[in-house]
Amino acid sequence: MQAFEFITTKEGLDNFRQVNDDIEWMCFDSEFVGEKRFTTRLCLIQVATRHGLFLIDPFPLKNLDPFLEMIENPNIVKVTHAGENDYRLLYASFGTIPKNTFDTQIAAGFLGYRYPLAFKKLVETELKINMNKSFTVADWEARPFNQNQLKYAIQDIEPLYDLWKMQEADLLRKKRLHWAEEEFKVLERESYYAKEPHYEALNSDLMKSLNKRERLFLLRLFEWRRNTAEDKNYSKEMVLPSKFMSQIVRSMRSGRAGLRENRRIPDKFAGDLWPVMNELYSREISEEERMLLLMVPSEEDENANEEILTEFLYLVIRHQCMQNGISHSLALPRNWFKKIKNDPSFAEEVFGQGWRKELFGDTFVRWLSQPDNLSIVIKPDVIELRLSGNEGKES
């Protein structure tokens, strides 16, 4: 393990910023703990620059401004692996938005690797360096750190520079660097980190199978769980495990007795929490809630033909990506089909420009943005995708 500077004081952090005042790149990672809490806690920051290796302990520091200013500095390339996790934490805790990023996990997706790919796998394959990941779930809140923890922390940043330079050269050779850079830019948008408070409820599979009153109750139940978890800094699962959601919602039809008689539901929901449950179920619907529930697709909206078309399109996209050595999960995450179904303009937004348009062409935008007009025609020697209302056909 190379020598490193361990920073625990304001003076040490100010000196770190001064020493690195002239850098053009920095590799960084962080260790954090999110289990059993609503707000993830930042426990350690690892940084590598041309001036050396640095470990920053945030616990004794009142603010991290010198480090955060470097993250926001557009003149410094920030090299990470799966940096989204670190950036989400920095945004949630400090409002920090990164500028000028290079993510080795995203880059790997443009170079023939599946996405997402573990750092250990990428480093061992590309750099032939064996990595010990036994401290991934170590207690990073405990102090003092032991030497094995610090060794683990350092190995998460030591290979990043060589990996970055190797990937950058490969992307340039394949004329894909501008594709990767376009995807890196997503990490630099504030909208990427902003959370839709009702996302979890509106995207719940349970929601689609309920009647109107039960949907309203479930919407409120998710909101109550989120707010309670935030107030107490508990995980949402500690407040209300997801496995009980369906049972509680369906048992509320029979009131308190329904909750009490369902042996799968913890007693507290018919006991101390009954006034809360009853209020959530009985309260009059608000206009905001009415509008939110209009966003929930009904089960009738789905049909077998649409499911087959979606699967077929997904396979075509996977094949196109495989032929070009690009991860299909990076090109079209599976959950985007639901977004496109709810808002066909989303297909034009992501496929009608940039690197995806270069890869797939205009045909895919037409297929994805008009799912109701799309059909599959199978002939002895060819399979055709047809858009109704179009004289031509695409196969």
Percent of the chain residues past pLDDT 70, beyond the cut: 95
Residue 367: per-residue pLDDT: 86
pLDDT for 384 equals 86
Residues 6+ apart with CB under 8 A from 118: none
297: phi then psi, degrees, rounded to nearest 5: -70, 145
Q: Containing H/E element for 374?
A: strand 374-378
Strand partners, 318: none
| CATH fold of the domain at 5-192 | Nucleotidyltransferase; domain 5 (3.30.420)
pLDDT band at 370 (very low <50, low <70, confident <90, very high): confident
What's the gap between Cα 271 and its chain centre? 37
- The rounded mean pLDDT for the chain is 93
- With 60 as the cut, is the pLDDT of residue 63 above it? yes
Position with higher pLDDT, 307 vs 300: 307
pLDDT at 67: 98
Q: Report d(CA 209, CA 55) in Å as an integer.
A: 50
Q: What is the pLDDT of residue 193?
A: 95
Q: What pLDDT is attached to residue 259?
A: 97
Q: What is the pLDDT of residue 365?
A: 84
Radius of gyration of the chain (CA): 25
Over the stretch 146-170, which tens digit does the pLDDT of each residue have?
Answer: 988 999 999 999 999 999 999 999 9
Percent of the chain whose pLDDT exceeds 90: 75
Does pLDDT of 230 surpass 50?
yes
Of residues 324 and 335, the one with the higher pLDDT is 324
pLDDT tens by residue, 263-286: 999 999 999 999 999 999 999 999
**What mean pLDDT do residues 30-58 have?**
96
Q: What is the pLDDT of residues 112-121, one digit of tens each?
A: 999 999 999 9
Each domain of the chain, given as residue ranges in start order, spans 5-192, 199-298, 302-387
Whether 377 shows a pLDDT value over 80: the answer reads yes
Q: Examine the pLDDT at 137 and tell me if it is beyond 70.
A: no
pLDDT grade, residue 344 (50/70/90)?
confident
Residue 18, token pair as written in the block: 């001064």
**What does DSSP assign to residue 394?**
B
| pLDDT score recorded for residue 1 | 63
Instruction: Kindly report whether the global pTM for this prediction surpasses the value 0.85.
Output: yes
Q: What is the pLDDT of residue 391?
A: 46
* Interval 298-318 mean pLDDT: 78
pLDDT at 323: 96
Sequence-distant (6+) residues with CB within 8 A of 216 are: 285, 289, 293
> Above 60 in pLDDT, residue 311?
yes
